[in-house]
Amino acid sequence: MTDSGLRRELQDLPRTDPAVDQLVEEIIGRVADKWTMLLIEILTERECCRFGELAKACTGISQKMLTQTLRAMERDGLVTRTVYPVVPPKVEYRLTELGLGLSKAFCGVWLWAEANFETIDRARQDYTARQEAGQV
């Protein structure tokens, strides 16, 4: 059995318009991003987060990329940004319905990663070993 056309099978839709394909690919390009996905995950677990919390929870991200990614997510309607006019400043981020939908969709990838991280680790070791063996 072949897995060709897997996506088409699953969605059971009439052939997609090429122009739509382009839009969809653009969205995948924006959304298939390390920080976006990590932030979505964090915002799914703790549904409401301040900027500083996100900075701590999202290991390795710089303030700049955090701001930048959150802005892009807000622009795409994935999160809402609520500014409380208090001092010190307080800004809360929360997933929208749309963002939650993406979270659920991406959930499968987290499960895949958790189920297969050992396999991947082994693959990397094998690859490195083959590399070293090859260049002798």
Enumerate binding residues for a copy of itself (CB under 8 A): 2-8, 10-11, 13, 16, 20, 22-25, 27-29, 31-34, 36-38, 41, 44-47, 59, 74-77, 98, 100-114, 116-117, 119-124, 126-127
Closest CB 86 distance from a copy of itself, rounded Å: 20
Closer to DNA by Cβ: residue 8 or 71: 71
Give the up-direction half-sphere exposure of residue 21: CA atoms within 13 A in the CB hemisphere. 8
Neighbours of 5 (CB within 10 A): 8
* Residue 16 Cα to chain centre, angstroms: 24
Coil, helix or strand at residue 110: helix
Q: Give the whole-angstrom CA distance, residue 32 versus residue 17.
A: 22
Picked from DNA, a copy of itself, none, the partner binding residue 102 (CB below 5 to 8 A depending on kind) is: a copy of itself
* Residue 89 within binding range of DNA, rule CB under 7 A: yes
Picked from a copy of itself, DNA, none, the partner binding residue 129 (CB below 5 to 8 A depending on kind) is: none
| Enclosing H/E stretch for 14 | none
